[in-house]
Copies of this chain bind each other. A is one copy, B any other.
Amino acid sequence: MTASPNASAFRTRIDEQLSSFVADQRARLVDLGPDLEPFVDAAATFVSGGKRLRPQFCYAGWLVAGGDPDETGILAAAASFEWLQASALAHDDLMDGSDTRRGKPSIHRDFEARHSNGNSVGDAAQFGRSVALLLGDLMLSWSEEMFRNCALVNVDAGAIYLDLCKTEVVAGQYLDVVGQTRPEFSVADAMRVVRFKSAKYTIERPLHVGAALAGADDELLAILSAFGLPLGEAFQLRDDMLGVFGDPEVTGKPAGDDLREGKRTVLIARTAERTDDAGRELLRRGLGNGEYIAQLRELIISTGADAAVEEDIASLEREAEAALATLGKSAQFHLRDLMLKATRRNH
């Protein structure tokens, strides 16, 4: 049995993979024109943040399926998820018009500011949006390129799950965007978005990719779904709770950010199904309006929606735990730590 990788050592190894990949791309791109330097640098900076959650699950899937812990190819494959995530975040910020990401300006705002500060003509905001769009496209292509060049023998088997992952996350985002246009929305609708946009994308598919790269059979992949899907749902519900009640000092996001943005989360759906006409009116008026944060928090607590979501999380954790118990001791060891990190966190 191999030791579970120390989180910070793993992070360093993932960062090394990303740096080395971006250095190669940079050499090639700057050759095409020096103007491309700030563009590549923005990609490198943007990917340097984050929790490396998807690489961790991918690597855990590899270990659980009996992959060699010292194989470097799996690190490249695992790290490639960070380009996919960076692309999704750049495009998310663009769709939401978000000003910041992890306490720094979002890409479109960053390049808008560079335009305004320089001797530039044309619309600065439009320039910023174009650059964020293109950088997201570039990073999406890079995720595939990095993954495919991992040089593992089972790369095609892993790619099946990566392809599913990429289609599912866009489908989940689309369902989310469509959901926002509906006057009413149910807990079931909100949970479906959670499943595709978060649970599959963040946990189940990275586990599958790693496991398939190590030659996992269908039985193991099914157990990883039984473990990863409820865990991923619990992970997102924890995120929803932090988006409303999280400490800005710890989360790095403004207090009540999800309420200000008007996100249609499971927490809000649970509130809507438990409140009266006055409460639903407050939700209609207050969601997406920063002035109503305190009132909305009160409504969520008074209806018991927060407690209900905590119960959802606990029940999903038990489900994941039950799936975990069917695996061997070594597999349990690799996955339990990650499981706790995903749901018992404050940021």
Contacts and interface: CB of A to CB of B under 8 A. Distances in A.
Interface of A: 25, 28-29, 32-33, 35-36, 39, 87, 91, 94-95, 97, 115, 118-122, 126-127, 129-131, 133-134, 136-138, 140-142, 144-145, 148, 156, 159, 163, 166-168, 170-171, 173-175, 177-178, 180-183, 192, 196
Contact of A121 (B144, B171, B182): B182
A343 B138 CA distance: 29
What are the 3 A-B residue pairs with the smallest beta carbon separation, nearest first?
A120-B181, A141-B166, A138-B170
Contacts of A137: 87, 91, 136-137, 140, 170
A32 B148 CA distance: 27
A232 to B, nearest CB: 15
A219 to B, nearest CB: 22
A25 to B, nearest CB: 7
Contacts of A145: 163, 166-167
B175 A35 contact: yes
16 contacts: A28-B167, A32-B192, A33-B171, A35-B178, A36-B171, A36-B175, A39-B174, A91-B133, A133-B133, A141-B144, A141-B163, A141-B166, A142-B167, A144-B144, A145-B167, A148-B148
A175 B148 CA distance: 27
Nearest to A159: B148
Given A181-B120, A181-B122, A29 B171 contact: yes
Given A133-B95, A159-B148, A182 B29 contact: no
Contacts of A94: 133
A183 to B, nearest CB: 5
Contacts of A144: 141, 144
Given A32-B196, A87-B137, 20 more contacts: A29-B171, A33-B175, A35-B174, A36-B174, A95-B126, A95-B129, A118-B181, A119-B183, A122-B180, A122-B181, A127-B177, A130-B177, A133-B133, A137-B170, A141-B144, A141-B166, A142-B167, A144-B144, A145-B166, A145-B167
A141 B121 contact: no
